[in-house]
Amino acid sequence: MGQVIRRRWRLLVALAVLGALVGAGASLVFSPGYQTDSSVLLQGPRQADELLTEAQVATSSVVLDRAAGQLSWQTTGADLKDDVTSSVANGNVVTITASADTAEHAQQLADKVAAEFVRYSSQLVSSSTDAAAQVQQEQREALRQQVALTNQRLADMAKNIDGGLTVESVQARTEIEALRTSLEQAINNLNQADAATSTANMVVLGSAELPTGAAAPTLPQLVGGGALLFFLIGVFAHLFRARADKRLRDETEIGAALGSRVVATVDIPDQRPEAGRGLRTRLSRLLRADRPWDLPALSVSADGRNRESRYRRALSKIGAPGRRILVLVPEDDAPAHRAATQLAAAAEGRTSLRVNDISPVRPTVTEDSSLTGVLVLVTVGSRTAWELVGIAEACADAGHEVLGVLLTQPVRDQSPTTEKPEVGSDRDAMAGSA
């Protein structure tokens, strides 16, 4: 991860800035602004479904329209629909939560909605229960009269019972007392129900508190979270891409994929391609994202004489003098093309080299019985194992033996100016004579 940050810090910073901008834009949609609560106490015994119904009434369109008309700023009940929520708390309390762009507006909104909720609920109760309450009151009074009459009859029956202490008389008195106790309990229950009905109203538990700060997620939180999220996405995307990259970087693996040995590894001074005119190309160069980040750091280039000696040793390892060698170079491998040109110059007429471009995706090799074998030029870390195996199979199908593999490794050029060598063409790059 440290290597990703060191080599891609410009791109990661750009992603973090982009994430911060996205977070700032998201704050316009997701940030609730300022929030505060107002609590309404529902007196009297209440069932759970009754409390839920009251909570829904608190955010009904009628209550919100009435509250909007009482606010100091121009708004409608439909606009307040997303700014007001309600919930049921413990102890018969309905909590009304209001959101607004300022702390003062949030406080006013919560207070107005709570007040209009209490007023509207009181109107509903008074208008819908007047007639029913009158009927219930008449029924309760009739029931009380019947209970009093029954109680009187029980008292008369107790007096008329024989005053003896027989088992029957004692049992009768006990049953009569039990009935009188039950009737008295029923009367007490009726009285308690009347008291509860008479006191079942709503009370606002004080004014809503003035918010001291914006509710989460705030603008700084969304900006910081967006920057961090995009930064981590960039880091893990680089790590995932590097893990999924199947291009070979080990000399042994490259030689095994081609079915031959690596005769040499030559340094090629790193030359950046000419700056493209497209915005994407210029942006990639500015962010330093035009090169793979997971390649080894470029070492200092050797001098021209040292590189020329390496080319000659590579030719001697494949027994090149007097032989005709087909040099295969992947068509999109610029360092390998420059190496092919320098290899042809190092042959100095002692060896006939024929340089051909080859497509790594669909490799095709020309059949030529006059050729001794094939030398493959490829840059380290530029090809997958399957691409190299395909090149080896194409050589075998054409009847050519892969004599060796010459690897190229881009390095930093220690000279102030880099001379651009001519790249050998597909069919005409030759060194020496047949």
Cross-sheet strand order for the sheet of 373-379: 262-269, 402-411, 373-379, 324-330, 352-358, 429-431
What is the reported pLDDT for 389?
94
What is the reported pLDDT for 432?
39
Q: Which residues in 101-138 are b (16+ Cβ under 10 Å) and which e?
A: eebebbbbbbbbbbbbbbebbeeeeeeeeeeeeeeeee
Question: Which residues are registered as beta bridge partners of 328?
Answer: 356, 376
Please enumerate in sequence order all residues whose Cβ is within 8 A of that of 37, keeping only pairs 6 or more positions apart, or say none: 95, 96, 97, 98, 110, 208, 209
What pLDDT digit, counting tens, does each position of 141-187 carry?
Answer: 777 777 777 777 777 776 766 555 666 677 777 777 777 777 777 77
DSSP conformational letter for 105: H
Instruction: For residue 381, report the phi and psi dihedrals to the nearest 5 degrees.
Output: 80, 20
What is the reported pLDDT for 321?
66
Sign of CA dihedral 341, 345, 346, 350: positive
Q: Before 217, cis peptide (omega within 30)?
A: yes
The rounded distance, in Å, linking the Cα atoms of 429 and 132 is 108
Instruction: For residue 113, report the phi and psi dihedrals to the nearest 5 degrees.
Output: -65, -40
What is the reported pLDDT for 165?
62
**pTM as predicted:** 0.57
Please enumerate in sequence order all residues whose Cβ is within 8 A of that of 81, keeping only pairs 6 or more positions apart, or say none: 59, 61, 64
10-residue mean pLDDT profile of the chain (434 residues): values are 82 93 88 89 85 92 91 88 91 91 92 92 70 66 74 71 65 75 74 55 87 85 94 91 83 92 85 62 74 59 68 80 86 90 82 88 88 91 92 93 90 53 42 35
What is the reported pLDDT for 122?
82
What is the reported pLDDT for 175?
76
What is the reported pLDDT for 274?
54
- Map tokens 């090799």 to a residue: 365
Domain boundaries, the chain: 32-204, 251-431
CA distances (Å), origin 162, targets 60, 158, 167, 171 = 68, 9, 11, 12
Q: How many secondary structure helices (H) and strands (E) does the chain include?
A: 13, 10
The rounded distance, in Å, linking the Cα atoms of 366 and 335 is 23
Please enumerate in sequence order all residues whose Cβ is within 8 A of that of 197, keeping only pairs 6 or more positions apart, or say none: 44, 133
